[in-house]
Amino acid sequence: MTRKRRRLWVLLLCGIGLGSATALTLTAFQDNLVFFRSPSDIAQQAPAPDRAFRLGGLVETGSVARETAPDGKPAARFRVTDGAHAVSVTYVGVLPDLFREGQGVVTLGKLGPDGVFRASEVLARHDETYMPPEVADALKRSGHWNPAEGAAPPAATWNTLDPARAPAAGRSGS
Amino acid sequence: MIPELGHFALALALALSLAQVVVGLWGAQRAEARLMAATAPLAAGALIAVAAAFACLAWSYVVNDTTVLNVVQNSHSAKPLLYKLSGTWGNHEGSMVLWVLILALCGGAVAGFGGNLPSALQARVLGILGLVSVGFLGFILATSNPFDRVWPPPPDGQGLNPILQDPGLAFHPPLLYLGYVGFAVTYAFAVAALIEGRVDAAWGRWVRPWALAAWSFLTLGIALGSWWAYYELGWGGYWFWDPVENASLLPWLAGCALLHSAIVVEKREALKTWTVFLALLAFGMSLLGTFLVRSGVLTSVHAFANDPERGMVILGLLALYIGGGFALFAWRAATMVPTGVFAPLSREGALVLNNLLLCSIAAVVLVGTLYPMFADLLLGEKISVGPPFFNLATLPLAVPLVLAMGFGPMLPWKRARIFPAMQRLWWAALAGFAAFLLCLAIEGWRIGPALGFAAALWAIAAAAADIADRIALFSRPQAAWARAKGLPRAAWGGALAHAGLGVMILGLAGMGLATDKLALLKPGEATTLAGMEYRLTGLADVQGPNWTARRATVEVRDGDRLVTVLEADKRSFAVARMQTTEAAIHTTWARDLYVVMGEERDGGAVLRIHNNPLAPWIWLGAAIMALGGGISLSDRRMRVSAPAARPVRAEARA
Could you tell me if B510 and B612 are in contact, meaning their C-beta atoms sit under 8 angstroms apart?
Answer: yes
Q: Is A5 on the interface with B (CB under 8 A)?
A: no
Distance from CA of A114 to the nearest CA of B (A): 25
pLDDT tens-digit profile of B237-281? 889 888 888 999 999 999 999 999 998 888 888 888 889 999 999
User: What distance in Å separates the CA atoms of residue B346 and residue B581, rounded to the nearest whole number?
Assistant: 52
Could you tell me if B535 and B555 are in contact, meaning their C-beta atoms sit under 8 angstroms apart?
Answer: yes
Confidence (pTM):
0.89
User: What distance in Å separates the CA atoms of residue B499 and residue B553, rounded to the nearest whole number?
Assistant: 38
Query: A20 and B304: CB-CB below 8 Å?
Result: no
Q: Closest Cα partner for B442 from B510, B382, B497, B525?
A: B510
Which long-range contacts link B137-140 to residues 24+ away (Cβ below 8 Å)? B137/B10, B137/B13, B137/B14, B137/B17, B137/B50, B137/B100, B138/B14, B139/B96, B139/B310, B139/B313, B139/B314, B139/B317, B140/B10, B140/B93, B140/B96, B140/B97, B140/B100
| pLDDT reported for residue B296 | 64
CA A84 → CA B270, B381, B601, distances in Å? Answer: 64, 20, 32
Query: A9 and B344: CB-CB below 8 Å?
Result: yes
Query: B520 and A73: CB-CB below 8 Å?
Result: yes
Query: B388 and A32: CB-CB below 8 Å?
Result: yes
Q: Is A71 on the interface with B (CB under 8 A)?
A: no
Q: Closest Cα partner for B618 from B164, B248, B214, B222?
A: B222
pLDDT tens-digit profile of A143-155? 666 555 555 554 4
User: What distance in Å separates the CA atoms of residue B38 and residue A141, rounded to the nearest whole number?
Assistant: 59
Query: B305 and A31: CB-CB below 8 Å?
Result: no
Q: Is A12 on the interface with B (CB under 8 A)?
A: no
Query: A25 and B364: CB-CB below 8 Å?
Result: yes
User: What distance in Å separates the CA atoms of residue B270 and residue A1, rounded to the nearest whole number?
Assistant: 15
User: What stretches in chain B show pLDDT beneath 70?
Assistant: 296-308, 338-340, 637-654
Best mutation target among B606, B607, B608, B610 (most A Cβ atoms within 10 Å) is: B606
pLDDT tens-digit profile of A21-55? 888 888 888 778 888 888 888 888 878 777 888 88
Alpha helices by DSSP H, listed for A78-158, are 133-141
Burial A114-143 (b: 16+ CB within 10 A, else e): eeebebebbbbbbbbbbbbbbbbbbbeebe
Nearest to A130 among B92, B234, B305 (CB): B305
Q: What is the ipTM of this complex?
A: 0.74
Q: Is A95 on the interface with B (CB under 8 A)?
A: yes
Nearest CA in chain B to A38: B382
Burial B501-521 (b: 16+ CB within 10 A, else e): bbbbbbbbbbbbbbebebbbb
Could you tell me if B604 and B522 are in contact, meaning their C-beta atoms sit under 8 angstroms apart?
Answer: yes
Q: Is position A91 annotated in a ligand binding site?
A: no
Q: Is A7 on the interface with B (CB under 8 A)?
A: no
Within 10 A of B634 (CB to CB), how many other CB atoms are there?
A: 13
Query: A34 and B70: CB-CB below 8 Å?
Result: no
User: What distance in Å separates the CA atoms of residue A121 and residue A92, rounded to the nearest whole number?
Assistant: 9
Antiparallel, parallel or unpaired: β A53-59 and A33-37? parallel
Burial (CB count <10 Å: 0-12, 13-18, 19+), residue B330: exposed
Query: A173 and B596: CB-CB below 8 Å?
Result: no
| pLDDT reported for residue B638 | 63
User: What distance in Å separates the CA atoms of residue B286 and residue A74, rounded to the nearest whole number?
Assistant: 43
Distance from CA of B397 to the nearest CA of A (A): 8
Tell me which of 2.102.10.10, 3.40.50.620, 3.30.70.270, 2.40.50.140 is the CATH number of domain A36-159: 2.40.50.140
Nearest to B518 among A66, A73, A128 (CB): A73
Nearest to A173 among B302, B305, B570 (CB): B305
Q: Find all residues with CB under 8 Å of B351, minimum gap 6, and list them.
A: B260, B261, B263, B264, B271, B408
Within 10 A of B542 (CB to CB), how many other CB atoms are there?
A: 12
Please report, to the nearest 10 degrees, the dihedral formed by the alpha carbons of residues B558, B561, B564, B565 taken in order: 100
Could you tell me if B143 and B311 are in contact, meaning their C-beta atoms sit under 8 angstroms apart?
Answer: no
User: What distance in Å separates the CA atoms of residue A67 and residue B492, rounded to the nearest whole number?
Assistant: 58
Q: What letter represents residue B378's amino acid?
A: L
| pLDDT reported for residue B191 | 95
Nearest CA in chain A to B341: A3
Nearest to B356 among A14, A92, A123 (CB): A14
Please report, to the nearest 10 degrees, the dihedral formed by the alpha carbons of residues A24, A25, A30, A36 taken in order: 150
What is the separation, in whole angstroms, between the first and last Cα of chain B?
69
User: What distance in Å separates the CA atoms of residue B547 and residue B413, rounded to the nearest whole number?
Assistant: 60
Give just the sign of the alpha carbon dihedral B213, B219, B221, B224: negative
Best mutation target among A9, A12, A32, A64 (most B Cβ atoms within 10 Å) is: A32
Per-residue pLDDT at A4 exceeds 60:
yes
Q: How many whole angstroms from its chain centre is CA B372?
A: 24
Distance from CA of A142 to the nearest CA of B (A): 16
User: Chain B contacts of A66, Cβ < 8 Å?
Assistant: 599, 601
| pLDDT reported for residue B556 | 93
Query: A174 and B360: CB-CB below 8 Å?
Result: no
pLDDT tens-digit profile of A82-137? 877 889 999 988 787 778 777 778 888 998 888 899 998 887 555 555 666 677 77
User: Chain B contacts of A94, Cβ < 8 Å?
Assistant: 234, 518, 581, 596, 598-599, 606, 608
What is the separation, in whole angstroms, between the first and last Cα of chain A?
60
Confidence band (pLDDT; 50, 70, 90) for A169?
very low
User: What distance in Å separates the CA atoms of residue B623 and residue B381, rounded to the nearest whole number?
Assistant: 41
Nearest CA in chain B to A24: B393
Alpha helices by DSSP H, listed for chain A, are 3-32, 39-44, 133-141
